[in-house]
Structure 1
Amino acid sequence: MPHLALYTFGVLKSPLADPGPLTRELHGSGEAIYRKISQHPGYLTRAEAADRSRGTHFDLDWGAWGEFAVPTWYDKGRTVETSVLDATLSLWTDLRLAFDAVYTGLHREALNRRHDWFERTEHPSHVCWWVSDGLIPTWRDGVSRLEHLHDHGSAPHAFTFHHSFTPDGTPTRIKDIGPKSDQVR
Structure 2
Amino acid sequence: MTAYHLAQINIGTLKAPMDAPETAGFAENLERINALADNQPGFVWRLVGEADNATDLKFFDDPMTLLNMSVWTDLESLAAFVYRTDHRDVMRRRAEWFHRMELYMVLWWVPAGHVPTPQEAIARLETLRRLGPSPEAFTFKTPFPPPGEGKAVEPVLDECA
- TM-score normalised by length of structure 1: 0.75
Which residue of 1 is the match for residue 32 of structure 2?
A: 32
Query: Which residue pairs with 1:89 in the alignment?
Result: 69
**Per-residue deviation at 1:43?**
0.5
Q: Please report how far the alpha carbon of residue 168 of structure 1 lies from its aligned counterpart in structure 2 after TM superposition.
A: 2.1
Question: What is the aligned-residue identity percentage?
Answer: 32
Describe the SS at the equivalent of 2:100.
coil
How many corresponding residue pairs?
152
CA distance, structure 2, for counterparts of residue 56 and residue 150 of structure 1: 25
Cα distance in 2 between the residues matched to 1:15 and 1:6? 24
State the partner residue of 1:10: 12
Of residues 145, 154, 160, the one that matches 1:173 is 154
- Rg comparison, structure with higher value: 1
Superposition deviation, residue 86 in structure 1: 2.3
Q: Post-superposition shift, 1:11?
A: 0.9
Structure 1's unaligned 5+ residue stretches are 59-68, 77-82, 179-185
Which SS does the other structure have where 2:140 is aligned? coil
What is the aligned counterpart of 2:128 among 149, 156, 162?
149
Instruction: After TM superposition, give the deviation of residue 106 of structure 1 in Å.
Output: 1.4
Secondary structure of 1:30's counterpart equals helix
**Which one-letter code corresponds to 1:26 in the other structure?**
F
Q: What is the alpha-carbon distance in structure 1 between the residues aligned to residue 135 and residue 13 of structure 2?
A: 26
Report deviation, 1:145. 0.4
Which of 71, 75, 99 does residue 79 from structure 2 map onto? Answer: 99
8 Å Cα contact 1:9/1:125 also seen in 2: yes
Unaligned runs of 5+ in 2: none
Displacement after TM superposition at 1:23 (Å): 1.1
CA drift at 1:41: 0.8
Mapped pair 1:42 → 2:42:
yes
Give the TM-score, by structure 2 length: 0.85
Question: Alpha-carbon deviations, 1:88-117, whole Å to 9, x = none?
Answer: 111100101101101122110011111111
Corresponding residue for residue 125 of structure 1: 104
Q: In structure 2, the residue corresponding to 1:57 is in which secondary structure?
A: coil
Letter of the 2:51 partner, please give it. R
Q: 3-state SS of the aligned residue for 2:133?
A: coil
